[in-house]
A and B are shown apart, each in its own frame.
Chain A
Amino acid sequence: MSNIPADLRYAKSHEWLRAESDGTVTIGITDYAQNSLGDITYVQVPKVGASFKAGETFGVVESVKAASDLYMPVGGTVVAVNAVLESAPETVNRDAYGEGWMLKLKPADPAAAATLLDAVAYGEIAG
């Protein structure tokens, strides 16, 4: 069983999103995604300041097995990226919802996050 925290929102493409108190959202990939990929060897994230629409590719996560695109669950502007992943991409395997976060976004539409899947709905995809 993969770990699916109840307080996060999820995309069908296996990204998670957490609404922060300062109005930004933090984004990463789920435990199910990291487990399916296996050993993560490379994470490519965008530059701070880059803007994306919902559903756009924002980066790539690579494992020994495969390279997979990462998709923005909501549109917005990147305000921070996790620099740790450049030298320690395996952090995503170890702590997908914590230290393995990928980026922080200022959402274009603050209400967009609520349209994503909740933990129960995501669990039906990634149980």
Chain B
Amino acid sequence: MSELKRTPLRDFHAAHGARLVDFAGWEMPVQYRSILEEHKAVRRTAGLFDVSHMGEVDVKGPQAGAFLNHLVTNDVAKLFPGRVLYSPMCYPTGGVVDDLLVYMRGAEDYFLCINAGNIDKDLAWIREQAARFDVAITDRCADYALLAVQGPNAATIVQSLTGAKLGLIRYYHFGEATVAGVHCLASRTGYTGEDGFELYHAASEAPALAAALLEAGKPHGLELAGLGARDSLRLEAGYPLYGHEITAEISPLTAGLGWTVKLDKGADFIGRTALADERARGGERKVVFFKTGDRRIVRADHPVLDAAGAVVGKVVSGTLSPILNEAIGSALVTAAAAKQPLQVDIRGTKLNLQLVKPPFVELKKTNA
């Protein structure tokens, strides 16, 4: 077994009582005090997450924009400097290589944020696709640390440590800011459904920035939050997680991310033919989100049954919503079954799945 990778905040986590686990080859905090309490803090006040395991990639050159518009399904041409775009990146089959954020810094200067578990695969894929474009791809993963401050009090907390006017940075925009003396790319994005910032900064500065944010956040109810809460928050918000709602076998259309697939963006892109075909024909399967009205968690890989008890799919994500106090999840089912009553069998008890169009809870993320 290979040694786990560590973020610059590994000792910070240990000193704050984190339970450290192997996440995609990284030694990461799954929780500090309680996943449920950390989740509630993010919805009600604020949470601080170390997500330095995420990968960063520079894409620069005369054809950077054209290349990225070929690489991803969403429309990169809509970007302008200071704007962020969420997009899947697909295989020719329409299956997903990864989902990522595209940051436009300048006409020939873009920056990507990719999933930790996909870094090696993504870099190889991106470089392979970039071969016929005038573009330079640079792995910046080791250079950056990433701290996310999320929740209704997040902006107040970050603002207390910077002279930059954060109010000018709207949702899915970014700017430069010196926060507690640390130069940051401050991105008004997140994976919780709440307002907040993701602060990209030099890895060596991470312990100082984390300590400053934690201290400044205390009067505002900020709590350290781990990957456990991050997962329940994203599922409650209805956001996909690579390897669950989207995979090499589950296209963004199947996953309900049709808004990120711009077939008519005026540029051919990888997966376009397959995705156009899926949209025209209608997919054979569909990701649905559900709640059960019961506290028993319906976990990933649990079979989903139709009314007659036949298996029509499987759960891909499941947790207890700390806000609704009931089990929530997502499942990949046949398109026909998605219109019929669905159920699961939990240790002999049949539970009906109540299909929900996410988010499961009211979100306050937009300040626009």
Question: Which chain A residues have a beta carbon within 8 Å of chain B's beta carbons?
Answer: 38-39, 41-42, 44, 60, 62, 64-65, 67, 89-90, 93
Selected contact of A39 from candidates B35, B296, B299, B347, CB within 8 Å: B35
Given A60-B347, A64-B228: A42 touches B31 (CB 8 Å cut-off) = no
B297 near A42: Cβ-Cβ < 8 Å: yes
List the 6 shortest-distance A-B pairs measured between CB atoms, nearest first.
A41-B320, A39-B36, A42-B295, A64-B35, A39-B35, A42-B296
Instruction: Report the minimum CB–CB distance from B236 to chain A (whole Å).
Output: 13
For residue B326, which residue of chain A has the nearest CB? Answer: A41
A67 near B34: Cβ-Cβ < 8 Å: no
A41 near B295: Cβ-Cβ < 8 Å: yes
User: Which chain B residues (314-351) contact chain A, with CB distance < 8 Å?
Assistant: 319-320, 347
**What bracket does the count of chain B residues touching chain A fall in?**
10 to 19
In the complex, what distance in Å separates the CA atom of A114 from the CA atom of B295?
Answer: 36
Selected contact of B232 from candidates A62, A64, A67, A89, CB within 8 Å: A64
Instruction: Report the minimum CB–CB distance from A47 to chain B (whole Å).
Output: 14
In the complex, what distance in Å separates the CA atom of A48 from the CA atom of B37?
Answer: 33
Can you offer 12 A-B residue contacts whose CB atoms are under 8 A? Answer: A38-B34, A38-B35, A39-B35, A39-B37, A41-B320, A42-B295, A42-B296, A44-B347, A64-B319, A65-B228, A67-B297, A89-B295
Question: Which chain B residues have a beta carbon within 8 Å of chain A's beta carbons?
Answer: 19, 31, 34-37, 228, 232, 295-297, 299, 319-320, 347
What is the total of A-B residue contacts with beta carbons within 8 Å? 36
Given A60-B347, A64-B228, A64-B320: A39 touches B34 (CB 8 Å cut-off) = yes
Q: Within 8 Å CB of A42, what residues of B?
A: 295-297, 320
Q: Within 8 Å CB of A64, what residues of B?
A: 35-36, 228, 232, 297, 319-320
For residue B347, which residue of chain A has the nearest CB? Answer: A60
In the complex, what distance in Å separates the CA atom of A39 from the CA atom of B231?
Answer: 14
In the complex, what distance in Å separates the CA atom of A89 from the CA atom of B327?
Answer: 14
Q: Within 8 Å CB of B299, what residues of A?
A: 67
Instruction: Report the minimum CB–CB distance from A82 to chain B (whole Å).
Output: 16
For residue B299, which residue of chain A has the nearest CB? Answer: A67
Instruction: Report the minimum CB–CB distance from B120 to chain A (whole Å).
Output: 27
In the complex, what distance in Å separates the CA atom of A109 from the CA atom of B263?
Answer: 73
Q: Within 8 Å CB of B297, what residues of A?
A: 41-42, 62, 64, 67
In the complex, what distance in Å separates the CA atom of A65 from the CA atom of B35?
Answer: 10
Sample of 15 more A-B contacts, CB < 8 Å, known A38-B34, A44-B296, A64-B36: A38-B31, A38-B35, A39-B37, A41-B36, A41-B295, A41-B297, A42-B296, A44-B347, A62-B295, A64-B232, A64-B297, A64-B319, A65-B228, A67-B299, A93-B34
Q: Within 8 Å CB of A41, what residues of B?
A: 36, 295, 297, 320
Instruction: Report the minimum CB–CB distance from B226 to chain A (whole Å).
Output: 10
For residue A62, which residue of chain B has the nearest CB? Answer: B297
For residue A89, which residue of chain B has the nearest CB? Answer: B295
Instruction: Report the minimum CB–CB distance from A56 to chain B (whole Å).
Output: 15
In the complex, what distance in Å separates the CA atom of A64 from the CA atom of B297?
Answer: 8
In the complex, what distance in Å separates the CA atom of A16 from the CA atom of B36?
Answer: 26
